[in-house]
Chain A
């Protein structure tokens, strides 16, 4: 009955190498690995998995709280598990069960709600953390901290150096054990000194008294205060952290070790280097024994420990989620580089052989008899592979990168390492050499391969029968809650987003669209301002399951995954109009704060920076819609108002710039966009929600229109269009419009200009403006005032302007004009005839002349 404690660095390939040798030398019959015991059952078919994978444990009722434990191929924990499976040794996760941890957190949250007064432990803890920030750093990654003290910025290289220096593979771990033991002993001494100093001021008696008064104590529920006190005392003994969960976790690990020692002969423990000293139960050194709390103290912690129902499963993971920039980052700068140096090592090959042996006896003998390579050599191999891959990626992008260049880059990396007193190049040197030699000094070019080269985005694979990940469960729960079936036939639903349930359905549809699960699609266009009804159709397809598993790496709940993906999409968006479109999607899908913050930031930057006035104009109506529609949905955001106002200012102030020097096609596009502005801002001005902030917008918009119209360089087409707008929105009265009309139809104006003006004036009016009698009257009067000769002169222009109307529209227009006359005549003739229907025979000549005008039919 012996015990081996191997404190490792999570994701440290050097530790993995040492671990393989240590395992081979020690030949344990039981391996305990740091990790949640809930995951132990998931270990069954681990050899079928291909890392990177992650173990996820989550409360059944609230999957989004799930804890994620990512493993890379070179993670020591993964190495230990693979070894155990291959050698058929029993292996177990032996951390504190997550079900307790979750329940404790929940209870603590409830307690916080119940009693507002923060316990003194809280303050105490805060004080300690500031004091012991170095200790915290060490606690997080003792090996890295030691490497830094030794002047080595790359912990991987330091691990490897130590490995070289260790005379036997087993010597590697005791070095760290010694170091962390000393550290924890120091912390322990400090804790005890503080204790004696504080004893007079802080008596523990009241806490005890309170504990006894606590009604929970009798009901058998957990007494958090008491638990915290017990945990603190255990932590004090073991020189551990003030974080209340850590002593519990370590106590749980000790409990498992004690059990294992009773059943197994040779127990091996693989845990974080920080925990190792507190788990070394079998040590003979009396000083080290000080760090081990008694079994009774440990057991006391587990009394009445609450539990939550949890589930665990494997999900495919990616290296990109191991890197330090992402949310679940394991603090690794370059997962691919670590993979390279691990794969280049002898131990990695040895482990592969062991696994292969276990799977087929025949393969075993085929095992390569390669010469073992030292750490330095393996680093060189890894460096070469790294730089070759860099060259490969560059070539993939059609950028020249020769083999000679790879050689030169390797030489440069090694010279650099030598200049920096380093035995072998590490990531820094390789990166610099790659930039300098392979990328011609361009960091921008390197940035294009950085992701593929250093991080990698291959998705791992999990055993086929792994239960579904929390994201899938979250989606399922939502679907069930809202009573939506995964039906393979298309169904339709009409939603009123003012209803809470309908709004949630709409939200679910939209969120799923963000994670590339286009289950539902809107049938009608996005609702315009003031419309609350949404029509959707939905149909479930099996590939959605795969998409959901794939999206799991972006979050364990739907809202989180959708938000992360929205942010990713945002980064690729450039035009303002596109950003605004995305904003609308994000707000309607009610994504999380991070996504919303980012999108506002991007919107703000876009507004500040845009030089494209047309883009700004295109963005305004949708932004106005979001502003107003969002308000109606009860999600107005104070930030949007100023952004909208700024964009509006810019667009109107610089409107003139885009209205000059453009041809008719561009002008028409612009006019169509401008046409949306007034209807968009008008509702904002009388919306009481904005407390009058936007009252002046319609006026200012018309001011801007007027300025542009008055500018002699403005495109004639737009002058015509804006003149109509100004009249339509009552800025101009009849006289002013008549003035405009006469001005542009006056003799001496170039024919093209007149045509453009008329086209602009009549743009898209077939539907609506047809009925504006007033406009026709003005136009009519103007035309009527021509003498016959000038009428013929202008006839081609009129034809051109009216050419945009279809036959049917022209016919309708004919009736309007005819009515115009009839009414006029009937008014004039009222005293005599009193007829209110126009007379066919009387208007016959009119119809003929209209035909002449429109079709030129009567000309000859």
Chain B
């Protein structure tokens, strides 16, 4: 069913050109880099992998392609985690990317699928309403009623396609799927087959098939994985960025990328401004100032880099459409407060304490402090 709908959409939007899409899948956006990496790829690779584990690593973390071209850094984070993720896929264990919201889980999963299978679109979005059909197969009821169950009457799920083609399938937000539906994955992952009892047949996975699932750390309670399923996954927890520099880079990178896509008539935010925003997010997230001298109250939100990015974007849009096209502390302050104070109780208290104890006394932060104070009056 899912597949069919994709085809329809493709038809409908065929008249549009590449630049009209809000975003492209990774294998299209980075097609050139993938080509370079695969061209000189002499390293051993598991069957049906388009890119070797080594080159996949380079694709994600950046570096040099065999032909000497520069590969951009797409994920900034511990190298060992990405190694662990790739090694997991190479051992044909399924991969579960865990992390708080905004730690690039889906992005890493997309990049991995794009590099390994050249196709990141075999995707099941997990929701409370996801049924077994979305994971296994559904039926074309017209055909089912006229001709009875047959291969032709099957509507294949993305996982089905991935098994047939030896590709990577992605399951987003695994823990949002109801537990009994999740269990449909157990056979697929352990036996690597998908039985179709209705027509006494089974689909056997071709080498290269694997599953990357993502799940939110904070959702653990929603539909916790059954231990049978958990055993089939290797879990890699993606952390929040380790250093201020890393995070500033990430925020800048994404903000610029999104700014391009929305064409804001606005100057790029100054580095110093980004550093301040990122510092605020990091300090509140960690519950201590960056010099480690003062402990802080933590707000209730995760305050991930993604939220920092959206705060900056928010401020940029404000500057572009309501300001003079230059990012000022006046644009930044409401965006910051909006992103940080989500719960009027705890968050407001934490934010006020941070503003008064930290921002007020920090050298060079007077303007931002004043702007933040201003809006609360």
Contacts and interface: CB of A to CB of B under 8 A. Distances in A.
Contacts of B80: 428, 432
B83 A436 contact: no
B294 A608 contact: yes
- The CB with the most chain B CB atoms within 10 A, among A433, A439, A441, is that of A441
A441 B83 contact: no
A436 B235 contact: yes
A419 B86 contact: yes
A432 B294 contact: no
A408 B53 contact: no
A419 B80 CA distance: 10
A439 B84 CA distance: 14
Contacts of A428: 80
A416 B84 contact: yes
B4 interface: no
A412 B234 contact: yes
A428 B84 CA distance: 11
A605 interface: yes
Contacts of B234: 408, 412, 436-437, 441
A404 interface: yes
Question: Interface extent on B, as a size class?
Answer: 20 to 34
A415 B87 contact: yes
B187 interface: no
A667 to B, nearest CB: 25
Nearest to A606: B295
A231 to B, nearest CB: 42
A415 B92 CA distance: 11
B227 interface: yes
A440 interface: yes
A661 to B, nearest CB: 16
B93 A412 contact: yes
B47 to A, nearest CB: 15
Contacts of B54: 419
B295 A605 contact: yes
Contact of B87 (A419, A439, A605): A419
Interface string A335-355: 000000000000000000000
Contacts of B53: 419
A541 interface: no
Nearest to A428: B80
A404 B87 CA distance: 18
A428 B80 CA distance: 9
Given A432-B84, A436-B234, A441-B236, A411 B57 contact: no
B87 A416 contact: yes
B83 A419 contact: yes
B361 to A, nearest CB: 15
Nearest to B79: A420
A404 B93 CA distance: 12
Contact of B237 (A404, A415, A441, A609): A441
B222 to A, nearest CB: 16
Interface string A675-690: 0000000000000000
Contacts of B181: none
Contact of A442 (B93, B231, B237, B294): B237
B295 A609 contact: yes
A442 B98 CA distance: 9
A439 B87 CA distance: 17
Contacts of B231: 402, 404-405
Contacts of B88: 412, 415, 436
A441 B235 contact: yes
B98 A441 contact: yes
B103 to A, nearest CB: 12
A437 B196 CA distance: 30
B244 interface: no
Interface in B69-91: 80, 83-84, 86-88, 90-91
A439 B96 CA distance: 13
B208 to A, nearest CB: 16
A400 interface: yes
B192 to A, nearest CB: 15
A211 B53 CA distance: 69
B218 interface: no
Among A404, A411, A428, the most chain B Cβ lie within 10 Å of the Cβ of A411
B230 interface: yes
Contacts of B297: 609
Contacts of A608: 294-295
Interface string A620-647: 0000000000000000000000000000
A419 B230 contact: no
Given A411-B91, A415-B87, A416-B83, A440 B295 contact: no
Residue with the highest number of chain B CB atoms closer than 10 Å, among A405, A411, A419, A608: A419
Interface string A406-420: 001001100110111
A408 B84 CA distance: 13
Contact of A412 (B57, B91, B237, B295): B91
Interface in B91-108: 91, 93, 96, 98
B90 A415 contact: yes
A443 interface: yes
Contacts of A439: 235
Contacts of A419: 53-54, 57, 83, 86-87, 90
Interface string B3-33: 0000000000000000000000000000000
Contacts of A605: 295
A443 B81 CA distance: 12
Nearest to B90: A415
Nearest to B44: A418
A20 to B, nearest CB: 34
B98 to A, nearest CB: 5
Contacts of A411: 91, 93
Interface centre among B53, B294, B295 (most CB of A within 10 A): B295
Interface string A256-274: 0000000000000000000
A439 B231 CA distance: 10
Interface string A167-181: 000000000000000
A441 B215 CA distance: 12
A400 B226 CA distance: 12
A437 B295 CA distance: 34
Contacts of A440: 230, 235
Contacts of B227: 400
Contacts of B83: 416, 419-420
Contacts of A405: 231
B79 to A, nearest CB: 9
A418 to B, nearest CB: 8
Contacts of A441: 96, 98, 234-237
Interface string A424-442: 0000100011011101111
A415 B91 contact: yes
B291 to A, nearest CB: 14
Interface string A599-614: 0000001001100000
Contacts of A404: 231
A443 B98 CA distance: 12
A656 B159 CA distance: 59
Interface in B22-78: 53-54, 57
B244 to A, nearest CB: 21
Contacts of A400: 227
30 contacts: A402-B231, A404-B231, A405-B231, A412-B84, A412-B93, A412-B234, A415-B87, A415-B91, A416-B84, A416-B87, A418-B87, A419-B83, A419-B86, A419-B90, A428-B80, A432-B80, A432-B84, A436-B84, A436-B88, A436-B234, A436-B235, A437-B235, A441-B96, A441-B98, A441-B237, A442-B237, A443-B237, A605-B295, A608-B294, A608-B295
> Ordered nearest first, which 8 A-B pairs have the shortest CB separation?
A441-B235, A415-B87, A416-B87, A441-B237, A436-B234, A415-B91, A608-B295, A441-B98
Given A416-B84, A439-B235, 7 more contacts: A404-B231, A412-B91, A418-B87, A419-B53, A419-B86, A437-B93, A437-B235
Interface of A: 400, 402, 404-405, 408, 411-412, 415-416, 418-420, 428, 432-433, 435-437, 439-443, 605, 608-609
